[in-house]
Amino acid sequence: MKAMATLRLGSIAMLAAVLAQPLHAELPPPVRALIEAAIATGDEAKLRVVAELARSTYPAEVEEIDALVAGFETTLAARKAAEAEARTAAIRAAGLLENWSGQGEFGAFRATGNASNAGITAGVTLERQGLAWRHRLTGRIDYQRAKGRTTREQFLARYEPNVNIAKNLFVYALAQYERDRFQGFLGRYAVSGGLGYEAIKDEDVTLSLKAGPAWRATRFVDGREENRIAGLVGLDFGWSITDTLKLTQTANAVAETGASAVAIIDSRNTSIDLVTGLDAAISRSLKARLSYSVEYDSNPPPGAVGTDTQSRVTLIYDF
């Protein structure tokens, strides 16, 4: 009787020990192969999904699964560090004409104000991003000819460098040339410099502000010339609404893309340019842009009106 009780107790202990053992001594080869395949893609999101499913299905092998994921993360971190170091070295070694990227733009516009007409518009923007410096060159022309005479001829050229001096803080400079006979001037030159601040710098939303003194010289169609001290206030805004739809706002004397707000203010004349637009991606390098702009001068030349509007439909090619 006593022996039988002892035997029963021993059997129960053995059964408990068996039940306490993990269901799998090691991660099944097909599951390991699936995790390794996810690692081979280099896709962190994909690996996280596969690893989480493996952990929930084989909880006894969590440590082995974690070890596989940790190995991938270590390798990935080392690769990213090496790539960042290589990019930094390439930027440092780049020549003056290297590391430029840009956009080409071509389409049609409809204008109201000093001239009511439709025509073609073309532009180009070039940008070079360094470790601390950024250089941006912009050019644009709006042109229309009807019945043997030119009815719209607007030119813009701009150069804007800036340099980072602290986290989210930068110094900017701006040199700009405009020509628009129908607004009353043969040439308008503006130079400005000041401070800028990146208020928002997220993956989907960016916002930067800038302000500083400016000098503006204007040659009017009637032969007059003016040179005045002014001030410039502007902002740059970008919002990626979806992967293929983006709203942008740039703060320049005349904004090129998306939506913009800028004011050049002096005691005689205040110029405000507002441009609102929407970009829709067609392919990786091609997108369509729809924009609407309002250009306002508080004291226009004699015979000119103070407000011009333009609607543009263009194609943008990134290169």
Tell me the mean pLDDT in the region 170-185. 89
% of the chain at pLDDT higher than 70: 83
pLDDT at 2: 47
Among 44-53, 71-80, 143-152, which stretch is predicted with the lowest mean pLDDT?
Answer: 143-152
pLDDT at 21: 41
pLDDT at 233: 82
- 3-state SS of the chain: helix, strand, coil percent to 5? 25, 50, 20
Superfamily of domain 100-318: monomeric porin ompg (2.40.160.40)
Question: Which one is predicted more confidently, 90 or 281?
Answer: 281
Tell me the mean pLDDT in the region 24-41. 79
H/E segment holding residue 150: strand 149-166
- C-alpha distances in Å from residue 175, one per residue of 162, 231, 247, 252: 12, 14, 26, 10
Counting Cα atoms < 13 Å in the Cβ hemisphere of 143 gives 8
- Hey, how many other C-beta atoms are within 10 angstroms of the C-beta on 208? 21
pLDDT at 258: 37
- For 250-303, the pLDDT digits (tens) are 644 432 233 445 555 555 667 777 777 888 889 888 999 988 887 777 777 776
| pLDDT, the chain, mean | 79
Q: Does pLDDT of 106 surpass 90? A: yes
Q: Are strands 133-146 and 260-265 parallel, antiparallel or unpaired?
A: unpaired
Rg (CA), the chain: 31
- For 203-215, the pLDDT digits (tens) are 888 889 898 888 8
pLDDT at 32: 85
The structure's pTM equals 0.67
pLDDT at 169: 94
Q: Where are the domains of the chain?
A: 2-93, 100-318
Residue 191 β-bridge partners: 175, 215
- For 41-56, the pLDDT digits (tens) are 888 888 888 888 888 8
pLDDT at 10: 46
H/E segment holding residue 225: strand 225-240
| Tokens describing residue 229 | 């001290």
- Distance from C-alpha of 283 to C-alpha of 257, rounded to nearest angstrom: 18
DSSP summary character for residue 60:
G
Write b or e for each residue in 233-250: b if 16 or more Cβ atoms lie within 10 A of its Cβ, otherwise e.
bbbbbbbbeeeeebbbbb
Q: Does pLDDT of 237 surpass 70? A: yes
The one-letter amino acid at 45: A
